A and B are shown apart, each in its own frame.
Chain A
Amino acid sequence: MSIDVLAFSLLNGTLYGMLLFLLASGLTLIFSMMGVLNFAHASFFMLGAYLGFEFSQGLGFFPALILAPLCVGLIGAGVERFGLRRVHRFGHLGELLFTFGLAFVIEEAVQMIWGRSPQAYPVPAALDFTAFEIFGTGYPAFRLFMLAVSAAIFAGLALLLNRTRVGLIVRASLTHPEMVSMLGHNVPLVFMSVFGAGSALAALGGVIAGPILVTQPSMAAGLGPILFVIVVVGGLGSLGGAFAASLIVGFIQTFAVAIDFSVADAFGLIGVTAPPAALGALLRDVWNVSVSQVGPVIPYLLLVAMLIFRPMGLAGKRA
């Protein structure tokens, strides 16, 4: 791997990882606090992208950066207050099915409002320039901006959770919800706020990812599964774990593509050039598959391995 590919892979891996973190941070908080695997989380991301597109057409990109997450946060809080809380008494399965259905409802609603074709959501003019050049290749300023926003959110969340009274209650609700409730705190309100804030973070991810990814109805379905990987690998309720897992997944997916190493090459090192005939057709198929071809699957392998060997995840406190 040459040095310029390495440099760009580092940059792109960090950026993709940070974007994943914006989504995963909300999801992991919701998951660990309420026990709900929120299938609709990626849909809030999509909603953020569409509202961001709509607001930035009328008001410009930077107001949209604030307004769209606010709107989606309110929608998220409403979903918790009037949907999830009612379903809650039917147990976790009911909640799971509720969010599963909600994901479809949001996708259909988006298709009815904006249509099925992708939207032309451009990079804002103020950030549409080359930030710096390395190895003769420009790096777009908008990507740096995404990086900065994600880093700021991570720092802000970490401070909020570890240094403030609100964070104390949230963290206590994660592990001892009954005790927090008995101490007189309004746990349902905490749940609603966390769900709303988590949705708003996902929406913020959508607003900044919309211009570089394609703003279209299938964008939620594409990102959903990888978020579950991050939540499980990172560990329940651990923001630090989610952060580490996001970066790991970002790096895996970025670096794997650059590696053209296959089983054949591995055996080539020890002088074996053809697959042993005795091993049959299956091995012949696997023989020439390179790392870059299986790259996108590696995070899911990581998920399976993590569940087998360390079910609580990298930094989780509960299995």
Chain B
Amino acid sequence: MRTPRSLLASVLALSAAGAAQADDDTFKYAMIDPFSGPAAVVTERIEKVLRFAVGEVNAAGGLNGEKIEILTFDNKMSAQETAIQAQKAIDAGARILQTSVSSSNTFALVDFVRKHNRRNPEDQVIVFDGASHDPAITGEKCSYYSFSWVLDADMKTAGLAAYLKDRPEIAKVYLLNAEGSSGQTSRASVLEMVGAARPDIEWVGDDTHPLQKITDFTPYIAKIRASGAQAVITSDWGADLALVLKAAGEAGLDAEWFTYFSTGPGAPTAMAQSGLDGLVYSVFDGDAGIRNAALEAHEQAFRDATGGQSASPFPGDSSALKALKLAADKAGSNDLDKLIPALEGMEFTTIFGAPAVVRPEDHQLVTQMAVSKFVPVDDGALDEEGTGWGWQNVALIPAETITLPSACEMDRP
């Protein structure tokens, strides 16, 4: 028994080592995200968007002739594991470490890389935050070595506040958020920003529920109905969002829903089933419902390549690769000490056809925001997850409206 087992072990070790040091003349880009567990459905889609964007850059010659190679690392949705996997990624030669799914993992990665770069000035790496959207990542925790490629939660709330100014008939609003930092930060910023933009709004309810533990949301729907709310603002995501919207549809609740995460994988399926026609709004960086020829072409190409899924829920990866390619061209080198200054202030056009800039003082992406509603679409139009339903844009909020002052005090080398 001993020999075959140790043989097997060494074969495994060898193949692992082989996978880790695949190719020496590529630019290695590590993706550190939960590839197992309930959040893996999100990672799956992010990986597709990232591979598609990298494929485009490589087809156009790569970064100064170097092809980008993606390495994947499973952080099992844990901050500790994120740091362990980050070290593995660096050992495998990665120069950019990207994480997207949870802001606590992003914080862990930013901290890890800050220390690593201080201790290894010859072997520095940078962090890309692909989708985690916590304002603190480019706020009090900001770092010279990290970049955020999506609008943060406060910018989206500012956009929602601006949109609600044009909807004066909405006067009674209900807040529904999960416990935990993401839900509670959103709740506080909605109360502050929407409250300031629309002081006449009456908050008819303010509920906090456990995160991803509830199977039956009908009691909340009964409560929302009894409160007379015309609209519900929720930062719920994943199963919580799907279940609450299905319960609302089933009960025939006619309140409007303003959501931050309804473009993500799985939500459109539940929303189409709920039958809430035109009642669910997405407050996000953008979606497939924006009328733009380049976006439609991009979406169509992505859908053809991946079997009908939408690229829009994760615009951060597309933006990151566009900016990276431009910065590498501008710097004429792939050295990080030339790439980072080139990335700062980089201007480019997002997949939504909107101008975007990497703000130099905090490395936060600044671009427009979209408010769209979910409706049945015509045959042949871009639908979501094969449901026959899709997004219809109702407002584009310009970048100036949602730009907030930077809270970053950056340590520059």
Contacts and interface: CB of A to CB of B under 8 A. Distances in A.
A275 B160 CA distance: 35
The 7 closest A-B pairs by CB, nearest first: A116-B41, A257-B219, A8-B222, A218-B38, A118-B266, A12-B218, A254-B219
Contact of B213 (A2, A4, A120, A222): A222
Contacts of A130: 252
A12 B215 contact: no
Contacts of B208: 293
A301 to B, nearest CB: 14
B261 interface: no
Contacts of B212: 218, 222
B219 to A, nearest CB: 4
Interface string A246-268: 00000001111110000000000
Interface string B11-40: 000000000000000000000000000101
B226 A5 contact: yes
A117 B269 contact: yes
B252 A258 contact: no
A201 B201 CA distance: 48
B377 to A, nearest CB: 16
Given A8-B218, A13-B219, 18 more contacts: A5-B222, A12-B216, A12-B222, A111-B40, A117-B269, A117-B385, A118-B242, A122-B273, A137-B225, A213-B215, A213-B216, A213-B246, A214-B239, A216-B242, A218-B239, A222-B239, A254-B216, A296-B213
B413 interface: no
Interface string A50-94: 000000000000000000000000000000000000000000000
A111 to B, nearest CB: 8
Given A120-B269, A120-B387, A214 B242 contact: yes
B209 interface: yes
Given A117-B265, A137-B225, A216 B214 contact: no
A292 B206 CA distance: 11
Contacts of B216: 12, 16, 213, 253-254
Interface in B178-233: 179, 207-210, 212-216, 218-220, 222-223, 225-226
Nearest to A256: B219
Interface in B330-370: none
Contacts of A296: 209-210, 213-214
A241 interface: no
B220 A257 contact: yes
Interface in B36-71: 38, 40-41, 44
Interface in A1-42: 2, 4-5, 8-9, 12-13, 16
Contact of B246 (A117, A143, A214, A217): A214
A214 B38 contact: no
Contacts of A257: 207, 209, 219-220, 223
B189 to A, nearest CB: 19
Contacts of B397: none
A138 B387 contact: no
Q: Is the interface of B mostly helix, strand, loop or mixed?
A: helix
B215 A293 contact: no
Interface residues of B, number: 38
A117 B272 contact: no
B270 interface: yes
A222 B179 CA distance: 16
A130 B275 CA distance: 14
Interface string A117-133: 11111110000001000
A254 B218 contact: yes
A255 B386 CA distance: 37
A120 B273 contact: yes
A16 B219 CA distance: 11
Nearest to A13: B219
A225 to B, nearest CB: 9
A116 B222 CA distance: 30
B409 interface: no
B226 A116 contact: no
A257 B208 CA distance: 10
B251 interface: yes
A253 B215 CA distance: 10
B292 to A, nearest CB: 26
Contact of A222 (B215, B219, B251, B270): B215
Interface string B293-335: 0000000000000000000000000000000000000000000
Contact of A12 (B38, B179, B219, B246): B219
A4 B224 CA distance: 12
A130 to B, nearest CB: 8
B243 interface: yes
